[in-house]
Structure 1
Amino acid sequence: MIYRYMEPWLGTGLLTGGGNKWRVHRKLITPAFHFSILDKFAETFAERADDMVHILEDKVSKGYFDIDAYVTKCALDIIAETSMGKRVYALKDPKSKYVDAIVSLCEISTRRYTNPIWANDFLFKFTKPGKRFFDDIEYVNGNTLKIIEEKRAQLEKTKSTIRVDELGRKERLAFIDILLTTQEPKPFTDEEIIEQVNTFMFAGQDTSSITTGFTLFALGNEPEIQAKVHEELDSVFQGSDRIITPQDIASLDYLDRVVKEAMRYYYFVPEIGRCLTEELVLDGHHIPVCTTVILDLYELHHNPEHYPDPYKFDPDRFLPEEVAKRHVYAYVPFSAGPRNCVGQKFGLRNAKTMIASVLRKFKVKSRDKPQDLRFYIEGLLRPQGGLYVALELRK
C-alpha cells in the first residue's frame, strides 16, 4: 500500500511494480546481478571506497564523528557510477544538485505515509515538500534521460569496437548499458529504463550504506571481534595497499559472518509488507485477498528459538553448521521468494568492500552502545543523530 507514495519517482520498477510487466522485467534484469557482472563493478567499489578512506584520514585521533554521513555519500558515488556510468562526486562535492535531489526524494517519499496531509495526493502537490518532490523528480529523470541519449549514441558508434573512456581505458559496464542492450522479448523503453535506474539508485545506496555504517558501529563496540577481522584482513593483504579484488572479498569468510550478524542484530529492515493475492489461513484465521500482511523481521531475527541469547553480537551464528540447523526462512534481511531483493549480492559485496577498506587502515571505536540508539524511518530505520565513531590509524 505504501509503495504508491514512491510511484511518482520510482514508477512501476522492480520494487513498486507488479503483474506481468514486473515478471518480465525481473527475469530480464536478474542476469545483470550475476557474479560475472558484479566482478566488473568491483573496481568501482574499491576505488570509491578508497576515496572515502582518504577523506577519513583527516578524522584520525580527532574524536568522535558521524560515520553514517560518509558511508552514505560513498554509497551514492558507487551506485551512480555502477547504475549510470557517471560520477556524481558525492564525497567530494557537498553541493552536488543530483545528490541533494536523490537524498530529498528518499526522505520525502518515505515520510509521506506518516503525514496525513502529505499522504493525500491532491493536498501534497500544494505543500512545500510536495513542490520540491516533483521538481526533484523532473530534474533526476531529465538527467537520466540525457544519459540514456548519450549512451545510445555511444552504442551506435561502437558496435564493432571496444568502448574506452576519456583516459583510454576500456569503459566499465553500467546497469544502464545492460538495459539499453536488452532486446528480447523487446527493448526497454526510455520510461522503463528511468524507472529501473531510479529504483536501483534508491534501493542500492540505502542498503549498502546502512549495512556498512552499522557493521562498523558494531565492531566499534566489539574490540575482540574487530581484532579477528583485522587478523583476517592482514592474512589476505599481507600489509599491501593494493586495490581490493573480487577474489579478496570472496575469501573474507569471517567478515562475511560479521556483516550477516550486523544485519540480523540491528534490524534496519524491520518489516516487510505483502498484499495477499489469495486467501491465507493462519492459525485458523481466514485472511482475505488484498489484505496487507506485515512480516515482523525484528521479532524473527531476535527469536530465541532460532537465535539463543539474541541480543549478543555473535558472528559465529553464521558458521555453515549453525546455519544448517535453522529454518531456511529464519533469516531474511533481503526478503525471500520471487520478490526477494534482486540486488542482494551487489549490496553485500559493495558493503564488504567499503568495510574492508576502512578496517585495513583504521581501528574503530564507537561512542554509544547499541541499546542507546534511537531510530527514525526513511525507507529503512536510520539512527537519530548518526553513528558516532572514533578512528585510530593501524600500525
Structure 2
Amino acid sequence: MFAVLVCFVILIIWSWMRMRRPSMPPVFPGALPLIGNSHQLIGDRILVTDPDDCLVVSNASLNKPYVYKFAEKFLGSGLITSDEPIWKPHRKLLNPTFNQQIMNTFLHEMNVQARSLVSKLSVEVDKEPFDPRSYFVDFTLSTVSRTSLGLNAEDQTIISNEYADMVEEIFGIYCKRFQKVWLHLNSFYNFSPMKWREEQLIKSLRKILDNVIRKRRVELKQIKHSEEIYDLSSGKFTPALDHMLNMADEQNAFTDQEIREHIDTLIAAAYDTSSTTLTYAMILLGSNPHVQEKVLKEIEEVLQDKNADITKDNLQNLVYLDAVVKETLRLYSAIPFIGRKVEFPVKLKKYTLEPGTTCILLLQSIHLDPKLWGPDVNEFKPERWLDPDTLPKNPNAYVPFGIGRRYCIGRLYTTYVMKTALAHMLRRFVISGDITKVVTQYDVVLKPVIGHHISLKLRT
C-alpha cells in the first residue's frame, strides 16, 4: 500500500511539473494536478487562437483527438473521423468529386430544391414569427441526397425523414457522452443505455444506406458509360455515389463499407452546417433591411428575368451576396473550433507543443479578433469584403471551413447551396428578424436555440 501511495504522489508531481514546463503554453485556468481541466469538461488541452499558430498545428498534426473517435463506429473511415493513413489517400481520391466543374453540374438540382424551399416557406407568409431551421434541414437534405446519392423521390423521403431523425439523435448521444467525463472511458460507456441506443441507430442507418448503395450499383451495371450521367432537362450531373462506385470498380479504391461511411459523413456534415448557417443568414438579413435591399438590387441587376435559375456566371457576379455569406460565416461559424492530437514536438511562435497534447484551434476567436478585423469586428458588415483594405492582411484570418490541409472538402458546395437558396428566397420574400435576441448553443455545430425566429412577407 505504501509503495502504491508513493507512486501516486510521484505521478501527481510529474503531471503538475509537465503542465508547468516553460516551453509549453500556459495551462487553461483552473487546471489541477493529474486531472488537468477534466472537472471543467475541457481536459488538459491547449487553446490556440493565433491564426498562424493554428495553421502550423493543423498541418503538423493531421490526426484528431480521442473525442472524435466517439463517432468512429458510425462514420468510420469518413473524412471527419479517419486517421491520416486513411484520410490522406481517400481525400485525394474524393477531391475531384468536389471541384468547381462538378459543382457547376449540381446547380440545376440546387435551383430545383431552392424553388421547392420557397414554395414550402410560402405557407408562413404574413403569419407569426417561426423557426425556419426545419425548412432548411429539409432543403439541404434533399439537395445533398440528390447530388450525393442521385436518389429518386421515394428514397429521398427516407433520407429526409427517417435517416435525418436518427442522425440527429446519434449526434445528441455523442454530445451527452462528451459532457459526462466518466463516459469518455469505454469501460463505463459500454455499459450505459446510450451505448445500446447508439448501436441500434447505427444498425438502422447502415441498413438504409447499404440498400441505396446496392441498388445504385446494380443500376450502374445496367447502363453504359455514355448513359451514366443524369439528364435533368437543363442540366446534367453525376452523383458523388456514382463517382465512388466507379472508382471502387475501376481502381479498387473503396469497399462498400468505406463508401457508406463517406456518404454518411457527407450527409451528416452537410445538412447540419448548411441549414444552421442559412438560419443565421436569414436572421442577419432580417435584422438589417438595408443589407437585404442591397442584395435584392444586385440580384435583380444580375438576373434580369426574376424567374430565372441561378447559373454559374450569376454566382460569380453576385459579389455582394457572396459578401453576405462570408460575413455570416465569419460571425457564426457552424464549427467554432477543431481539435488536433499532437504526436511530436510542434514549434509555435512563443511555445513548443509536446507529444501527447490535445490542441483546440479556436476558429471563432480568430474571426472575432479586433486586432485582425478592427473595432467593428462584432458588426454585420458585408461591405468589408468588397474592399481589400478593410480585410485582414493575414490569409489565415478567415477559416470557417477549417484551416490547413485538412480543411472541409465541402466548402465550395456549401457556398453554392447557400447563395442559390438565398437568391431565390430574397426574390420572393421580405424577411424580418432580430439578431440581438439570438442565443446560441454548441452541440455538434453552433446552433441558435432562442430568438432565431423570422417573419416573411411577399415582395410586391
Alignment size in residue pairs: 393
Q: Relative to structure 1, is the Cα distance of residues 355 and 93 closer, same or farther in structure 2, using a 3 angstrom cutoff?
A: farther
Residue 338 (1) aligns with residue 405 (2)? yes
Q: How does 1:361-376 map to 2 (within 5 A)?
A: 361-366=428-433, 368-370=434-436, 372-376=437-441
Query: Does the CA-based 8 Å contact 2:439-2:451 persist in structure 1?
Result: no
Q: How far apart, in 2, do the equivalents of 1:276 and 1:68 lie?
A: 37
- 2:224 alignment partner AA: K
Query: Does the CA-based 8 Å contact 1:60-1:390 persist in structure 2?
Result: yes
Query: Does the CA-based 8 Å contact 1:375-1:383 persist in structure 2?
Result: yes
SS at match of 2:333: coil
Look up the match of 1:387: 452
Q: Relative to structure 1, is the Cα distance of residues 248 and 283 closer, same or farther in structure 2, using a 3 angstrom cutoff?
A: closer
Q: How far apart, in 2, do the equivalents of 1:212 and 1:346 lie?
A: 14
Q: Relative to structure 1, is the Cα distance of residues 253 and 193 closer, same or farther in structure 2, using a 3 angstrom cutoff?
A: same
Q: 2:286 aligns with which of 208, 220, 227?
A: 220
Query: Does the CA-based 8 Å contact 1:108-1:133 persist in structure 2?
Result: yes
Q: Is 255-264 or 145-154 further displaced after alignment?
A: 145-154
Q: How far apart, in 2, do the equivalents of 1:84 and 1:389 lie?
A: 32
Q: Is 36-45 or 265-274 further displaced after alignment?
A: 265-274
Q: How does 1:1-395 map to 2 (within 5 A)?
A: 1=65, 2-87=67-152, 96-116=161-181, 118-163=183-228, 172-183=237-248, 186-308=252-374, 309-319=376-386, 321-322=388-389, 325-366=392-433, 368-370=434-436, 372-385=437-450, 387-395=452-460
Unpaired runs of at least 5, structure 1: none
Q: Is 154-163 or 220-229 further displaced after alignment?
A: 154-163
CA-CA distance at 1:386 after TM superposition: 6.4
Q: Is 340-349 or 77-86 further displaced after alignment?
A: 77-86
- 1:316 alignment partner AA: E
CA-CA distance at 1:45 after TM superposition: 1.4
Q: Relative to structure 1, is the Cα distance of residues 127 and 52 closer, same or farther in structure 2, using a 3 angstrom cutoff?
A: farther
Q: How far apart, in 2, do the equivalents of 1:67 and 1:90 lie?
A: 24
| 1:98-141 deviations in Å (ceiling 9; x for gaps) | 22212222322333211235434344455444333222211111
CA-CA distance at 1:50 after TM superposition: 1.3
Query: Does the CA-based 8 Å contact 2:130-2:455 persist in structure 1?
Result: yes
Query: Does the CA-based 8 Å contact 1:264-1:301 persist in structure 2?
Result: yes
Unpaired runs of at least 5, structure 2: 1-64
Query: Does the CA-based 8 Å contact 2:210-2:260 persist in structure 1?
Result: yes
SS at match of 2:227: coil
Q: Is 82-91 or 63-72 further displaced after alignment?
A: 82-91
Q: Is 322-331 or 202-211 further displaced after alignment?
A: 322-331
Q: How far apart, in 1, do the equivalents of 2:168 and 2:152 lie?
A: 16
Q: How far apart, in 2, do the equivalents of 1:315 and 1:83 lie?
A: 31
| 1:134-160 deviations in Å (ceiling 9; x for gaps) | 222111111111121112112211125
Larger Rg: 2
CA-CA distance at 1:344 after TM superposition: 0.5
- 1:152 alignment partner AA: R
CA-CA distance at 1:85 after TM superposition: 1.5
Q: Relative to structure 1, is the Cα distance of residues 71 and 271 closer, same or farther in structure 2, using a 3 angstrom cutoff?
A: same
Query: Does the CA-based 8 Å contact 1:74-1:91 persist in structure 2?
Result: no
Query: Does the CA-based 8 Å contact 2:385-2:391 persist in structure 1?
Result: no
